[in-house]
Amino acid sequence: FIRVIILAGLFRHSSAASKEITQENEAIDDSETGVTCYTCVNVSDNSMCNEFAIDHPCPKGENFCHTLHIMDSTGASVVVNKKCADSRECLPQGVGCVSIDSQTVCVSCCDEMYCNVTVPTNKTTAIYSSTRKSKGKLHPILSNTRVRSMSQTLMPPTILYALANMCIYSL
């Protein structure tokens, strides 16, 4: 119960900061060729996801491949989620790994064709990678397009979603 209250507070803080950064940046140029990502929901491991992923381009405006990977204390996969995402869901401060109890949650975002073939397993592989040209100037926090670790003070909504699921699993 306490964990849920804490998560709710973090979500409010994270959403406000993410919204502010997103509003200051223009979206990736939609006239470019779209991206195609591996997609799966709540599968047990990466090979299962990639083997049965539906192969179709991401919808217009969803120019990132988002991967969420939850591992147990031994590093074995518990849950893999892969999907197309927009620039509001894939922010540099929204990637990285966090350990909760005996599980580790890692999130990565990238914007190249099938760039989410692997899953993030540590802070070195849980990265934000953006190679597509963007319109307009970037917010200072977004000027470095490769971020290797998640901010300790800001928990993005995708991590909070994973943490909420972990709370449900642990009940």
Q: CA end-to-end span of the chain, whole Å?
A: 10
Residue 160 has what pLDDT?
52
Residue 150 has what pLDDT?
44
- Grade residue 159 by pLDDT with cuts at 50, 70 and 90: low
91-119 CB burial, b ≥16 within 10 A, e <16? bbbbbbbbeeeebbbbbbbbbeeebbbeb
Whole-number Å distance between alpha carbons of 65 and 138: 20
Strand partners, 110: 65, 129
Residue 125 burial (10 A CB sphere; 0-12, 13-18, 19+): middle
Query: Does 111 have pLDDT greater than 70?
Result: yes
Residue 56 has what pLDDT?
84
Q: What is the pLDDT of residues 60-85, one digit of tens each?
A: 999 999 999 999 999 999 999 999 99
Taking the CA atoms of the chain, what radius of gyration do you get in angstroms?
Answer: 16
Query: Does 126 have pLDDT greater than 70?
Result: yes
SS3 150: coil
Q: Which domains does the chain have, with CATH numbers?
A: 2-170 (2.10.60.10)
pTM above 0.85, yes or no: no
The one-character DSSP state at 141 is G
